[in-house]
A and B are shown apart, each in its own frame.
Chain A
Amino acid sequence: MRRLVILIFILGSFSVFSQNPDDLTKEANEAYSRSEYSHAIELYEQVLALDLEAPELYYNLGNAYFKNNLIGRAVLNYERAIRLDPSNENIIHNLNVARSRLIDKVEQRPLLFYETWWRNTYMLQSASGWGITAVIILFFFLSVTSVYLFSRTRGVKMTAFYTGIFLLLLTGLSFIFAQKQYNRLSAENEAIIMSPRVSAKSSPSQQSPDLFLVHEGTRVYIRNSIGEWVEIGLTDGNVGWIKKETLEVI
Chain B
Amino acid sequence: MQRIFLISAIMWLSTAWATADDIEFTASAPANVSVGERFRITFQVNAQPTDFSAPDFDGLRVLSGPSQSSSTSMQVINGQMTQTVSVSYTYILEATREGRFTIQPATARIDGTLQRSNDVTINVGAATTPPPSASPDQSAAQQDPQASAQDLFVRATASTLSPFQGEQVIITYEILTRVGISQYSIDKLPSYRGFWSENLTQPGQPQTRTQVINGETYRVAEIRRVALFAQRSGEITVEPIEVNMVVNLPGDRRRQSLFDEFFGDSPFGQRTIRQTVKSNILTLNVKPLPVQNRPVAFTGMVGTGFDVTANISATELNPNDAANLRVTISGNGNLRMLEKPDFNFPTNLEVFDPNISDNIRNTVSGIAGSRSFDYLMIPRTGGEFVIPPFNFVYFDPARNQYISRNTPEFVLKVEGDPSQPGTVPGSISQENIRLLGTDIRYIHSGPITLFNKGTVFYGSRLFQILVLAPFTLFLFFVIYWRNHIKLQSNQQLLRNKKAEKLARKRLKKAKTFLDKKQENEFYDEIFRALWGYLSDKLSIPVSILNKETVAGAFKSQKVPQELSESFINTLKDTEFARFAPGEKEDRMAEIYNKALQTIVTIEKDLRSKKK
Enumerate chain A interface residues (CB-CB to B < 8 A).
3, 5-10, 12-13, 16, 21-22, 25-26, 29, 32-33, 47, 51-54, 56-57, 59-60, 63-64, 66-67, 69, 71, 90, 93-94, 96-98, 100-105, 126-128, 130-132, 134-135, 138-139, 142, 145-146, 149-150, 178-179, 181-182, 185, 196-197, 212-213, 215, 236, 238
A-B contact number at CB 8 A: 151
- Encoded as 1 (CB less than 8 Å from any A CB) or 0, chain B from 433 to 455 comes to 00110111111111111111101
A73 to chain B, nearest CB (A): 13
| B window 247-279: CB within 8 A of A | none
Docked-complex contact A103 and B82, CB < 8 angstroms: yes
> Once bound together, how far apart are the Cα atoms of A102 and B80, in whole Å?
12
Verify B463–A135 contact, CB threshold 8 A: yes
Whether, in the assembled complex, B470 has its beta carbon less than 8 Å from a beta carbon of chain A, the answer is yes
Ordered by A's residue number, 6 sampled pairs between the chains whose C-beta atoms are within 8 Å are A6-B449, A8-B457, A10-B451, A12-B452, A51-B452, A69-B21
Chain B residues lying within 8 Å of A215, measured Cβ to Cβ, are: 82
What chain B residues lie within 8 Å of A197 (beta carbons)? 22
Min CB distance A33 to B, Å, is 7
B435 touches A96 (CB 8 A): yes
Would A13 and B466 count as touching, CB distance under 8 A? no
In the complex, which residues of chain B have a beta carbon less than 8 angstroms from the beta carbon of A16?
A: 452
B212 at the interface (CB under 8 A from A): no
A5, B457: Cα distance in complex, Å: 7
Within 8 A of A (CB), among B124-151: none
Name the distance in Å between B574's Cβ and chain A's nearest Cβ.
31
- The 8 Å CB contact of A9, one of B20, B444, B452, is B452
A131 touches B470 (CB 8 A): no
CA distance A84 to B324 in the complex (A): 50
User: Would you call A57 and B448 a contact (CB within 8 A)?
Assistant: yes
**Could you tell me the distance between the alpha carbons of A181 and B456 in the complex, rounded to whole angstroms?**
10
C-alpha spacing A7/B352, complex, angstroms: 54
Q: Which of B432, B446, B452 has the most CB of A within 10 A?
A: B452
B474 in contact (CB, < 8 A): yes
Using CB atoms, name the residue of chain B closest to A56. B444
- CA A178 – CA B450 in complex, angstroms? 21
Going nearest first, the 9 A-B pairs with the smallest beta carbon separation are A131-B458, A128-B457, A9-B451, A100-B435, A196-B22, A56-B444, A52-B450, A60-B443, A127-B458
Task: Give the distance to chain A from B486, nearest Cβ to Cβ, in Å.
Answer: 12
Asked if B459 is an interface residue, CB under 8 A from chain A, the answer is yes
Q: How far is the CA of A29 from the CA of B477 in the complex (A)?
A: 52
A131 to B471, CA, bound (A): 16
Residues from chain A with a CB closer than 8 A to the CB of B474 are 142, 145-146
Check: B398 CB closer than 8 A to any chain A CB. no
User: Counting CB contacts under 8 A, is B467 at the interface?
Assistant: yes
Give the shortest distance, in Å, between B549 (CB) and chain A (any CB). 15
Contact of B440 among A12, A52, A66, A132 (CB under 8 A): A66
Q: Quick check: A97 and B440 within 8 Å, CB to CB?
A: yes
CA distance A32 to B442 in the complex (A): 10
For B, the interface residue count at a CB cutoff of 8 angstroms equals: 50
- Cα(A103)–Cα(B18), bound, Å: 9
Q: Does B75 contact A213, Cβ atoms closer than 8 Å? A: yes
Distance of A182 Cα from B436 Cα, bound (Å): 34
Residue of B nearest to A67 (CB): B440
Chain A CB within 8 A of B462 CB: yes
Contacts A53-B450, A71-B19; A60 near B444 (Cβ below 8 A): yes
Which B residue sits closest to A101, measured CB to CB? B19
Query: Is the CB–CB distance between B485 and A52 below 8 Å?
Result: no
Once the chains bind, are A138 and B453 in contact (CB under 8 Å)?
Answer: no
Given A105-B12, A127-B456, A178-B458: A56 in contact with B21 (beta carbons within 8 A): no
- Shortest distance between the CB of B83 and any CB in chain A (Å): 10
Is B78's beta carbon under 8 Å from chain A?
yes
Q: Report whether B19 and A212 are in contact in the complex, using a CB–CB cutoff of 8 Å.
A: no
Please name all residues of chain B whose beta carbon is closer than 8 Å to the beta carbon of A212 when the two chains form the complex: 77-78
Q: Is B478 close to A, CB under 8 A?
A: yes
Q: Complex: how many Å from CA A156 to CA B467?
A: 26
Is the CB–CB distance between B440 and A94 below 8 Å? yes
Task: For the complex formed, measure the closest distance between the CB of A217 and the CB atoms of chain B, giving whole angstroms.
Answer: 9
- What's the minimum C-beta distance from B469 to chain A, rounded to whole angstroms? 9
Q: Does B5 contact A (CB under 8 A)?
A: no
B residues in contact with A139, CB < 8 Å: 470
B473 within 8 A of A: yes
Closest to A94 in B: B440
Whether the pair A213, B82 counts as a contact (CB closer than 8 A) is yes
In whole angstroms, what is the CA distance A99 to B121 when docked? 42
The residues of B that contact A13 with a CB separation of less than 8 Å are 450-452, 455
A51 pairs with B453, CB closer than 8 A: yes
CB distance from B9 to the nearest CB of A (A): 11
Chain A: minimal CB distance from B580 (Å):
41
User: For residue A32, which residues in chain B have a CB less than 8 angstroms away from its CB?
Assistant: 443
Interface centre among B16, B21, B78, B431 (most CB of A within 10 A): B78
A182 touches B458 (CB 8 A): yes
Contact A25–B478 (Cβ < 8 Å): no
Whether a CB of chain A sits under 8 angstroms from the CB of B345 is: no
Pick the residue among A3, A22, A52, A182 that contacts B453 (CB under 8 A).
A52
B481 at the interface (CB under 8 A from A): yes
Contacts of B444 in A (CB 8 A): 56, 59-60, 90
Chain B's nearest CB lies how many Å from the CB of A23? 11
Who on chain B is nearest to A53 by CB? Answer: B453
Other A-B contacts than A9-B451, A142-B471, 11 sampled, CB-CB below 8 A, are A10-B449, A25-B447, A25-B450, A47-B450, A52-B451, A63-B440, A127-B458, A134-B467, A150-B481, A213-B77, A213-B82
Is A33's CB under 8 angstroms from B440's CB? no
Q: Which residues of B contact A57 (CB under 8 A)?
A: 448, 450
Chain B residues near A21: list those with CB within 8 A. 450
Are A103 and B458 interface neighbours, CB within 8 A?
no
The reply to whether A149 and B478 contact each other, CB–CB distance below 8 Å, is yes
What separation, in Å, do the CA atoms of A3 and B456 have in the docked complex? 14
Which B290-326 residues sit within 8 Å CB-CB of chain A?
none
Residues of the B chain whose Cβ atoms lie less than 8 Å from the Cβ of A128: 456-458
B567 smallest CB distance to A (angstroms): 24
